[in-house]
Amino acid sequence: MTRDKKRKAAIRETQAHTGRRYTQAAREITAATEREPTGFLLSQLLTECATIAPADVDWGYDCDLAPEVFHSRLFGGAVPYGTVLELAGSLAQEGRSARLTLESMSPLEVAVVVCGKRRFQLILTQDMARELCQTPACPNDQPGWAFLHCSSHLPDCNGDALVSMTEEWAYGFKTDAGRDMERREGSAEADLLIKAATANGTYERASKALLDSLFAAPDELDDLFWSEEETLAMQHAIERERLRLHNVARSEARRLWKIFGACSTCGGRLNAYGWDPSVPPRFCSANCVPPASCPSQDSATTERLAEQRPAGRSAR
């Protein structure tokens, strides 16, 4: 179904609900998609979901394949009941008083809503809501439940935020893996975190947080196991993953050196002194790194991650 056909279907739906003429309904639809973001409470959306009767929508295909929807005044269009319930589940910790802002709305396609710094894409053709990268207007998914940004925007987080995400993800992944050491090694999510930490010069902090959370801190090993064999197996797993992460970070640093070409401050050679994990790869040395060179888009990240415990996790 083309965008134009979906727009016409939305106009006809508005006609059916309001009794207005086609041209007037068309102007309303256009205004709804171009209006400034407006806010409303989750409780208001849930009230609509619980009280408004199902709406008839011309999807342009077999209606048996489409979700059951209602005409939402807050969204200015049809929204599936199941999508609202998915969103409410994701915002369970925020409660019914959570304030939402409609960032964008494409009738009979998708809508994006914002709650605080969290962004959700509501799929209007299915009973589905998924969390997006917290960077405004970014259409990309988060790589996993503990991630606040997509892989492209992870380096924009400051060191504290990135370490918090790393610890949160690693503890959860360790719980899923159980006592299987091999499952804890070689994760793609770990690579994303390490690459982001390499880009903003916090590799050493992030890698230590990851290893300590995913396995155990060195001073805790003797207390974890009764047998020397198990302790030794854990030590070997830690060292294998430490070496692997180091190689991931060095490869990422080399890749970024090629992209940047020269020091962003002095124009000098980027790898003249070898790789320094504490220096972002766009600078040649610590002397060229300006104060607070890695801006944080999320000053409340650490606090929110400390409070957040997922009810369910995204598929990995």
Q: What is the pLDDT of residue 15?
A: 60
Res. 3 pLDDT band, cuts 50 70 90: low
| Distance separating alpha carbons of residues 66 and 218, to the nearest angstrom | 54
Q: What is the pLDDT of residue 54?
A: 93
Res. 176 pLDDT band, cuts 50 70 90: confident
Q: What is the pLDDT of residue 4?
A: 66
Look at residue 213 and tell me whether its pLDDT is greater than 60.
Answer: yes
Region for residue 35 given its phi and psi (left: phi exceeds 0; alpha: psi -120 to 50; beta: otherwise): beta
Q: What is the pLDDT of residue 6?
A: 66
Q: What is the pLDDT of residue 312?
A: 40
**Burial of 95: CB neighbours in 10 Å, binned 0-12, 13-18, 19+:** exposed
Look at residue 304 and tell me whether its pLDDT is greater than 90.
Answer: no
Res. 16 pLDDT band, cuts 50 70 90: low
Look at residue 175 and tell me whether its pLDDT is greater than 70.
Answer: yes
- Amino acid letter, 126: Q
- On whether the CB atoms of residues 297 and 148 are closer than 8 A, the answer is no
Look at residue 44 and tell me whether its pLDDT is greater than 70.
Answer: yes
Of 45, 43, 54, nearest to 78 by C-alpha is: 54
Look at residue 7 and tell me whether its pLDDT is greater than 50.
Answer: yes
Look at residue 29 and tell me whether its pLDDT is greater than 80.
Answer: no
pLDDT for 223-274, tens place per residue?
776 777 877 888 888 999 999 999 999 999 999 999 999 999 999 999 888 8
Domain extents in the chain: 3-132, 154-307
Q: What is the pLDDT of residue 69?
A: 94
Q: What is the pLDDT of residue 34?
A: 47
Strands 77-80 and 118-123, sheet pairing: unpaired
Average model confidence (pLDDT) for the chain?
83
Give the DSSP letter string of 41-74.
EHHHHHHHHHHSPP-----SS-GGGSPPEEEETT
Q: Please give the average per-residue pLDDT across 26-33, as a whole number.
A: 58
In b/e form, how buried is each residue of 34-65, taking b as 16+ CB within 10 angstroms?
Answer: eeeeeebebebbeebbeeeeebebbbeeeeee
Q: What is the pLDDT of residue 104?
A: 92
Q: What is the pLDDT of residue 27?
A: 61
Q: Please give the average per-residue pLDDT across 67-72, as a whole number.
A: 94
Instruction: Check: pTM over 0.85? Answer yes or no.
Output: no
Lowest mean pLDDT among 43-52, 205-214, 267-276, 293-302: 293-302
Res. 297 pLDDT band, cuts 50 70 90: very low
Lowest mean pLDDT among 33-47, 194-208, 262-276: 33-47
- On whether the CB atoms of residues 28 and 20 are closer than 8 A, the answer is yes
